[in-house]
């Protein structure tokens, strides 16, 4: 089996963006700052006393519906998946993400504007290998008719398949398979937007959520298709689900060399799967150290 390592990277200088949170409707300012080798991704709440730091790791993950969130003590950040997908897609391994709200801005519902912001700065090679988990045995987790698994591969890197199956005919069944790297992330996944059913949107509005969100800020599907918007890809929905998986896998903190297949999985199941991956990685590392 081929062994592959790459060096860790950070960014050369600060990059920033502004937007509005889907759920809160509040304006949010985000700054991406360089970080030391081996420090990983850390969110910093600039708006709170003491500027608490929230390390992205499985131990800090919290279960909030429809989004990936982290918490350290009373400080939390929500909806980090699009930023995490972009950082891992661009191979930015060590970065401080300063925010002035708990909720990360939704922007256009994709990672495209995050890519554009980070494309204004350069990658800095930190001359230290990125931790890598080369899959040797299948790892799988199921929840009802949804599941996600990883199996070994002789190729370098991560191959990702996502299988989507919605009963609403305007979405239906979609699938995508791609080798995840910077080029494929930018060209195939980054601009795919969040989607929701019109019935779900109406319920959220009735709960006082998403009042600042319009049909142009994400894809809302009715029985006849997307409402007051246009698709960027014919299969934009499954591409966005794949983007979400990339972001959720990034919580592990290591590169994965294997083939991941996800069938109808969401953030909660992805998070459970990542915890299984981290446990397996730590067990493998412990065996190597004791050998």
> What gap in Å lies between CA 26 and CA 49, rounded to an integer?
19
Among 162, 146, 169, 131, CA closest to 247 = 162
Contacts of 117 (CB under 8 A, 6+ apart): 15, 16, 17, 32
For 104-150, give the secondary structure using H, E and C: CCCCCCCCHHHHHHHCCCCEEEEEEECCEEECCCCEEEEECCEEEEE
Tokens of 275: 């915890």
DSSP 187: I
Is residue 263 part of the annotated active site? The answer reads no
Among 79, 110, 78, CA closest to 190 = 110
Contact call for residues 133 and 15 (beta carbons, < 8 A): no
Q: Which of 82, 240, 257, 267 is catalytic?
A: 267
Helix (H) or strand (E) holding 177: strand 173-180
Among 54, 61, 153, CA closest to 101 = 54
CA 263 to chain centre: 17
Q: Return the half-sphere exposure (C-beta side, CA atoms, 13 A cut-off) of residue 149.
A: 13
Phi, psi of 11 (to 5 degrees): -110, 160
Catalytic residue IDs? 267
């Amino acid at each position: 089996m081929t062994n592959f390592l790459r060096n860790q990277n950070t960014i050369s200088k600060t990059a920033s963006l502004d937007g509005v949170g889907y759920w809160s409707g509040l304006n949010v300012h985000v700054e991406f700052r360089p970080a030391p080798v081996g420090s990983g991704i850390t969110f910093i709440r600039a708006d709170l006393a003491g500027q608490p730091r929230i390390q992205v790791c499985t131990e800090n993950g919290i279960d909030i519906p429809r989004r990936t969130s982290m918490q350290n003590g009373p400080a939390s950040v929500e909806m980090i998946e699009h930023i995490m997908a972009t950082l891992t897609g661009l191979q930015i391994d060590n970065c401080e993400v300063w925010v002035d709200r708990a909720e990360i801005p939704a922007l256009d519902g994709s990672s495209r504007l995050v890519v554009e912001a980070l494309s204004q700065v350069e990658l800095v090679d930190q001359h230290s290998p990125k931790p890598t988990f080369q899959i040797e045995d299948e790892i799988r987790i199921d929840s009802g008719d949804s599941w996600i698994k990883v199996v070994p591969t002789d190729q370098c890197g991560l191959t990702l398949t996502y299988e989507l199956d919605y009963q609403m005919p305007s979405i239906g069944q979609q699938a995508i398979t791609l080798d995840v790297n910077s080029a494929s992330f930018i060209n195939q996944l980054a601009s795919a937007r969040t989607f929701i059913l019109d019935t779900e949107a109406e319920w959220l509005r009735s709960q006082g959520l998403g009042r600042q969100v319009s049909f142009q800020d994400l894809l809302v599907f009715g029985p006849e298709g997307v409402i007051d918007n246009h698709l960027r890809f014919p299969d934009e929905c499954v591409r966005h689900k794949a983007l979400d998986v990339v972001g959720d896998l990034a919580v592990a903190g290591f590169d994965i060399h294997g083939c991941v297949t996800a069938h109808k999985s969401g953030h909660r199941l992805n998070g459970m799967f990542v915890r299984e991956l981290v446990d397996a990685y730590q067990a493998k590392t412990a065996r190597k150290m004791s050998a």
